[in-house]
Amino acid sequence: MNDNFVLDEVDRAIVQQLRDNGRATNQQIAETLGLTAATVSSRIRRMEDANKLRVVAVSDFAAHGYNMLMQVAIEVDGRPATEVATELAELPEVFAAHLVTGRHDIDILIALHDSDELPDFLQHKLAPVRGIRTIVPSIVTDVLKYKFDVAPIEAREGE
């Protein structure tokens, strides 16, 4: 990895094209930006190698039948929070697990097909995890923002 890697305007333009259309081919990006497909390909590879870019697919929860999203704040007692969070992260319903500061130690985000799965998840999967003292579940009623480009490349340069 090159710690001295600096993005230029061409790199930023390529990233913007991928943000606008993650399925765009190198040829499509090249035509839009007046470059060659080989240039786009090598620039993307260079940014990936420098850990400045990662191209991922993000699926829609509802498209996969997950109609219930829930955030659960967890207090831990008698066991390191990192161990509890690691165990929770292994549950297939958990799509994000965070160690946090404040009143709670862990925050997890889960996806369920519907509310009928909630009692089983809470009682048979979450509650038996050793070290959990309290759980505070919050059901998501509406998703107002679901974006992954919250850390613009420009803001990270020079750090």
pLDDT digits (tens, 9 = 90+) for 107-118: 999 999 998 999
What pLDDT is stored for residue 19 in this prediction? 82
pLDDT digits (tens, 9 = 90+) for 11-49: 999 988 988 888 889 999 999 999 999 999 999 999 988
Q: What is the CA radius of gyration of the chain?
A: 20
| 52 and 66 part of one domain | no
| 118 and 100 part of one domain | yes
Q: Where are the alpha helices (DSSP H) in the chain?
A: 9-20, 26-33, 37-49, 81-89, 118-120, 153-156
Q: How much is the pTM?
A: 0.64
| 66 and 129 part of one domain | yes
Whether 2 and 49 have beta carbons less than 8 Å apart is answered as yes
Which two three-digit tokens encode residue 47?
Answer: 């940014």
Candidates 153, 158, 155, 156; CA nearest to 18 is 153
Q: 101 in a domain, yes or no?
A: yes
| 124 and 76 part of one domain | yes
Containing structural domain, residue 73: 62-139
For the chain, the domain total comes to: 2
pLDDT digits (tens, 9 = 90+) for 77-127: 999 999 999 999 999 999 899 999 999 999 999 999 998 999 999 999 998
| 114 and 47 part of one domain | no
Which two three-digit tokens encode residue 60?
Answer: 């829609």
| 88 and 28 part of one domain | no
| 83 and 132 part of one domain | yes
